[in-house]
Structure 1
Amino acid sequence: MKHYFLLFIIFFIFLFSSCITNKDVVYLQEKGTLANDSLQIEALSKPYRVQVNDILSINVKALDEELVSIFNPVETTATSGGQQGQSSLYFNGFTVDLHGNIKFPILGEINVLGYTIKEIE
């Protein structure tokens, strides 16, 4: 009898612990206000602005490759965007320092903090 009672208690605990409340189910919630939804859409539509510790990949191109070889010290190979591409970006990219600058050959320090990609181009 004790074994059945113990199994019943374990089954009962398992049954109620696997349920979630209606509050956690998204499709049962009321929709947000129109103002709240529009603020979320507006935040998503803003262009990305460069921040501290971002790594920028900068490639300078010209008809004569020797002229721009100092700006592109390591020849980049076409990668599939996997781990190899990310690791090469870490070593060959330009990191934004705490002051928002990158150190670019010949040109020196360039402030890029808070600019969008189009503004930096």
Structure 2
Amino acid sequence: MLLNNDEFLLALAELFVATRENGSVTVTLKRYNYEGVKQERQKKRAKTASNEEAMQLIVDRLSLNDTEYATLVRANTEKRKLSTLVAPSSLDVFLARYHGLLMVNAESIKKKDRLKKKKAA
């Protein structure tokens, strides 16, 4: 479900509270590319084209440009999926609020039990 940034952070806080005792929340951040259809076409062409043409398509796709991209943020549990699209201009504010939310809910993370190994003398 695509939410605006404020609604996403509120729903994410609810997910953290709901999974405090058991369960997990997976959060992913990735660059949102507006040209998804164009890339799919290039992939299909690369499969059918010769090796040189395929390599040129890959180089063209990976060439650096000054375009700013939005960030797609997804959070999901076993039963619920959330997502939001963060504009480049508001990314710093969003990440600051997200960081605060993580710090508040970091206490529920279980520490790994580490067994102390005796070193051989």
TM-score, scaled to structure 2 = 0.20
TM-score, scaled to structure 1 = 0.20
* Higher relative contact order, structure no. (Cα contacts within 8 Å, ≥ 6 residues apart): 2
Highest Rg: 1 or 2? Answer: 1
> Which structure: greater helix fraction?
2
